[in-house]
Structure 1
Amino acid sequence: MPLSQTSEGVYAIAPTPFHEDGRIDDVSLDRMTDFYAEAGCTGITVLGIMGEAPKLEAQEGLSIATRMIRRAKSLPIVVGVSAPGFAAMRALTHQVMNEGAAGVMIAPPPHLRTDDQIVGYFRQAIEAIGADVPWVLQDYPLTLSVVMTPGVIRRIVEEIPSCVMLKHEDWPGLEKISALRKFQREGTMRPLSILTGNGALFLDFEMERGADGAMTGYAFPDMLADVVRLSKAGDRDAAHDLFDAHLPLIRYEQQQGVGLAIRKYVMKRRGILASDAQRAPNIGLTSKAIEEVEYLLSRVGRIDRRALLAA
């Protein structure tokens, strides 16, 4: 099923499972794919920033994406194809779309500064990969250092019809969501799916501002799916109560540099990954950090029993 402007729900950002020696763990990859489907995710995004994509060889990245597409069957798979040059972006895009990917995600390179440069870059990118490929615009200024105002996002959406989704990761970004939805109500921007990132740190209010769901990688995507469902049903207090129970762990995972280590550790504790290994360069967890994560899991478990993990 290709991505569209009506795509919604939770698209899990998948980490890459590794063995302790750095080899890709295909068994854990399959188990993780199955888990996301069982957890209520409506899609999966692979080869994103938290997927350690820059540490993978090109053939490894293609192999991971292909395996996940085939394993997920009807679950839409989005593949991150950002690359320094358009030749590599075009090659990976065509390969994964031929395998059955639902679409691709493209982030702006850090050197872009002006609105014209940003719009021009994406126009050239789409000329390279093909105007028939549905794609996600990744807006992540905290990491990518490219600031896209609501106005420039509107330009991209209006000028490039194949842009069907925004991965919104600005911070603070609630007003940006409101501005984009206002453009739509006014008829100055066509409809657009908006899924949010930032480890779901602001998901509760992002949903209320008009987001369609989340595209992020918190270790409890089943909780995120519940929050999205409750928010869409108008059960505000239940959505916030569940979200608030997880917020201390979500916040802890947002520590720069160590966030992926925390996420992989919890996914290992949940039995999804066989190992929490990362490829070098990496930052691991100290014994003190592990103790703190375990304490936070026990506190979350008082409200959400999914966090009560066997020792």
Structure 2
Amino acid sequence: MPLDHTAKGVYVIAPTPFLPDGRIDDASTDRMTDFFLQAGCNGMTILGVMGEAPKLDQGEALDISKRIIRRAGKAQIIVGVSAPGFAAMRALARGAMEAGAAGVMIAPPSTLRTDDQIVTYFRQAVEAIGDDIPWVLQDYPLLFTVQMTPGVIRRIVQDLPSCVMLKHEDWPGLEKISALRGFQADGSLRPLSILCGNGGLFLDFEMERGADGAMTGYAFPDMLVDLVKLSAAGERDKAHDLFDAHLPLIRYEQQFGVGLAVRKYVMMRRGIIGSDAQRRPGSALSARARTEVEYLLGRLGRTDPRARLAPAG
């Protein structure tokens, strides 16, 4: 089904599994897809920041999109199509949608500075891919250095009906969620799904501010599923207790430069993927860092049995 503004739950950001020699690991891709969906994720977002998309050529990007879409069945798959030029963006977007994707995600280039530049860019992007494709607006100023105020987001959403979701990754960003929901309450913003990123670092309070769920990666996406469900059910203390238990590992995974290495290492330890390899250029965990991650897993295992893993080989 095509993506729309009613989307809720967890759309996990999927890394791209690689073999140690840099080739895409098809077997791990299938196993990872199965795990995410069996864990209760509503969908997956692929070829995002943590998917190492810039390291894939156009053919690889479309091939892995098709593979995951086929494997996921009825689950909604969102494909990141951000690219330096609109021709590449259009080719991947149209190809992914023809393969059965639910929608695409577009991030702003770091060159945008004024509000008008931002709005014009997304208008041109929609003209390029076609206004029949539902898309997600990625707001990640810490990485892209593009500041989108709630007012600018409202302009984009109101001007471009095919924008059905905001991937909210501002930091701090709780007041932005409240402002957007306030626009909806006063009728100046049409309905919009808001899913949150940043590794889930603020997901506990983002849900309370009106977010519909998470669109992020974490080595325990099954925990994100539980947290979103608890929060939606009004189980505030249980949601925060669960979040607090995982927070040290979430924080450790949020380190710039090595965060993906941490995530892939724990996913490998959990048996979700076969290797924690990244395609070059990429980072790797030092021996000391691995011992720190193992320590965090041991502490987490005291309260969450999912972290009780066999000793590392």
TM range (shorter): over 0.9
Code of the aligned partner of 2:175: E
> Which 5+ residue runs of structure 2 have no aligned equivalent?
none
What are the equivalent positions in structure 2 for 1:81-96 lying under 5 Å apart? 81-96=81-96
Q: Per-residue deviation at 1:164?
A: 0.2
Distance in structure 2 (CA, Å) of the matches to 1:269 and 1:105: 29
> What CA deviation, in whole Å up to 9, does each residue of 1:44-76 have, x standing for no partner?
000001000001111011111000000000010
Structure 2 counterpart of 1:71: 71
Distance in structure 1 (CA, Å) of the matches to 2:150 and 2:175: 9
Secondary structure, in 3 states, of the residue corresponding to 1:16? coil
Distance in structure 1 (CA, Å) of the matches to 2:297 and 2:139: 30
Code of the aligned partner of 1:16: T
Distance in structure 2 (CA, Å) of the matches to 1:283 and 1:47: 18
Code of the aligned partner of 2:237: D
Code of the aligned partner of 2:266: V
Structure 1 counterpart of 2:39: 39
After TM superposition, the score normalised by the length of structure 2 is 0.99
Distance in structure 2 (CA, Å) of the matches to 1:18 and 1:89: 23
Distance in structure 2 (CA, Å) of the matches to 1:143 and 1:19: 27
Distance in structure 1 (CA, Å) of the matches to 2:5 and 2:174: 20
Distance in structure 1 (CA, Å) of the matches to 2:156 and 2:299: 43
Secondary structure, in 3 states, of the residue corresponding to 2:215? strand
Structure 2 counterpart of 1:205: 205
What are the equivalent positions in structure 2 for 1:117-196 lying under 5 Å apart? 117-196=117-196
Distance in structure 2 (CA, Å) of the matches to 1:286 and 1:171: 28
Distance in structure 1 (CA, Å) of the matches to 2:41 and 2:26: 20
Q: Does 1:98 align with 2:103?
A: no
Distance in structure 2 (CA, Å) of the matches to 1:56 and 1:88: 13
Distance in structure 2 (CA, Å) of the matches to 1:213 and 1:299: 26
Distance in structure 2 (CA, Å) of the matches to 1:84 and 1:105: 14
Code of the aligned partner of 1:69: I
Q: Per-residue deviation at 1:310?
A: 1.1
Structure 2 counterpart of 1:265: 265
Secondary structure, in 3 states, of the residue corresponding to 1:241? helix
Structure 1 counterpart of 2:274: 274
Give the CA RMSD over aligned residues: 0.4
Code of the aligned partner of 1:9: G
Distance in structure 2 (CA, Å) of the matches to 1:188 and 1:23: 48
> What CA deviation, in whole Å up to 9, does each residue of 1:152-203 have, x standing for no partner?
0000000000000000000000000000000000000001000000000000
After TM superposition, the score normalised by the length of structure 1 is 1.00
Distance in structure 2 (CA, Å) of the matches to 1:305 and 1:241: 15
Q: Per-residue deviation at 1:2?
A: 1.0
Q: Per-residue deviation at 1:78?
A: 0.1
Q: Per-residue deviation at 1:282?
A: 1.2
Structure 2 counterpart of 1:52: 52
Structure 2 counterpart of 1:61: 61
> What CA deviation, in whole Å up to 9, does each residue of 1:220-257 have, x standing for no partner?
01000000000000000000000100000000001110
The number of residue pairs the alignment matches comes to: 311
Secondary structure, in 3 states, of the residue corresponding to 1:109? coil
Q: Per-residue deviation at 1:145?
A: 0.5
Structure 2 counterpart of 1:13: 13
Code of the aligned partner of 2:107: A
> What CA deviation, in whole Å up to 9, does each residue of 1:259-307 have, x standing for no partner?
0000000000000110000011111101110000000011111111101
Code of the aligned partner of 2:169: E
Secondary structure, in 3 states, of the residue corresponding to 1:279? coil
Structure 1 counterpart of 2:256: 256
Distance in structure 2 (CA, Å) of the matches to 1:53 and 1:139: 17
